[in-house]
Amino acid sequence: MKAKIYPSKNKTATIKLPCSKSLAHRAIICASLADGISHITNVDFSVDIDATISAMQHLGAKIEKKEHEVIVEGSSRFNYDGQMVNAFESGSTLRFLIPVFSLCDKEVTFIGSKRLMERPQSVYEKLFAKQNISFIHNDKITINGRLKSGMIEIDGNISSQFISGLLFTLPLLDNDSKIVIRPPFESKSYVDLTLQILRIFNVEAYYQDEYTLFIKGNQKYHACDYEVEADYSQLAFFGALGLINNDVECINFTLDSLQGDKQILNAFEKMNGIINNIEDGFIFRSSDLHAATIDLQNCPDLGPMLFALATQAKGQSVFTNALRLRIKESDRIEAMEQELRKLNQDISSSEDVVYVNGKNKVIAKEILSSHNDHRIVMALSILATISENVVEIDQVEAINKSYPKFFDDLRKCGIRVELYD
């Protein structure tokens, strides 16, 4: 599917953004491991969230989807049905659940998109080998063996999803465990989100020091009701629309959230963006943007939109610690370089630093590619609203991974969008 985006000034609009995908994944997993019924509310369904729901159903949870709600009848017993677990394109689903499914004491096979299966899984490969657990990784991943408690050492500069996967699993083992994180500890905020959700479901895990997590063994998850916060990573897109086009109001946010992508507000302010706080959200106002240096170490998902936004800031913006963007749904640095150049923009990079020189007119020279990446689609679409001419983007169905209603919300802002095959 392709999208044509017609440049236009957006009308002042109020947008209720989707729930935090990060928190929804975590809550559904915890509820599925708890005896009893949990109600998870303010849920927006996407391919990634559906992948986690399906996986937990394979594990024996009974899950009913309603409008913006998931009713989960979980079980502390691992009634795995023996079917292959399809993570589709969801790195969270795969990495969170590999150690959880090891407790089935059965062979389990995970499948997913080609890109997902190519992403590194070295943390689990090394850990499982050390514990004499079978771990075979080719075009799928097959495990056979039960994770053991004890002390586990992990490099902190590899995805925090591995740490979270262990945090979901280790409390269910008979004995206590420790996770020792070798610095630098990147994306710590995502680990903090996992600890927050564990506490809500009555599971104890905490920092003994800056780099050591203690996990008490022989615990049980308790069913509960939980309302998922709105997603700060999605706020990046409509916030940017407000800054480069016209005012946008975004609501339904937890202002003291632990989400690492809340750093988008600091990034906008460093670029001289005007943000007004309201009771449950923010108003983003058209701003005279200036270049800034921004560290993406703990918020790599913000990269694509910030690169696009920087094209409209005076001077050279520098984005450091960007290496992990190269192993996402696409190589997001290379993808944004290719596509922004098609829009008459000046962007370059080293392995882990991105340079953007603004301010240049947005002029579409050819059809843009999504690189089958939801965040690339959304970042390019926001920039397209201020183009000198119509912008076409291919494979925009990639948004279904996280934000299926993205174009609907863009239209609510008065932007003309045509979708066609």
Residues taking part in catalysis: 301
Decide if 259 contacts 302 (C-beta within 8 A).
no
**Residues ≥6 apart with Cβ < 8 Å to 349:** 322, 333, 337, 355
Decide if 289 contacts 314 (C-beta within 8 A).
yes
> In angstroms, rounded to a whole number, what is the distance separating the alpha carbons of residues 309 and 287?
11
The residue whose two tokens read 């996407």 is 46
DSSP code string of 12-49:
PEEEEPPB-HHHHHHHHHHHHTEEEEEEEES----HHH
First to last CA, the chain: 5
Query: In one letter, which amino acid is 378?
Result: M
Query: In one letter, which amino acid is 245?
Result: N
Decide if 332 contacts 349 (C-beta within 8 A).
no
How large is the C-alpha radius of gyration of the chain? 21
> In angstroms, rounded to a whole number, what is the distance separating the alpha carbons of residues 302 and 299?
6
> In angstroms, rounded to a whole number, what is the distance separating the alpha carbons of residues 264 and 268?
6
Decide if 147 contacts 103 (C-beta within 8 A).
yes
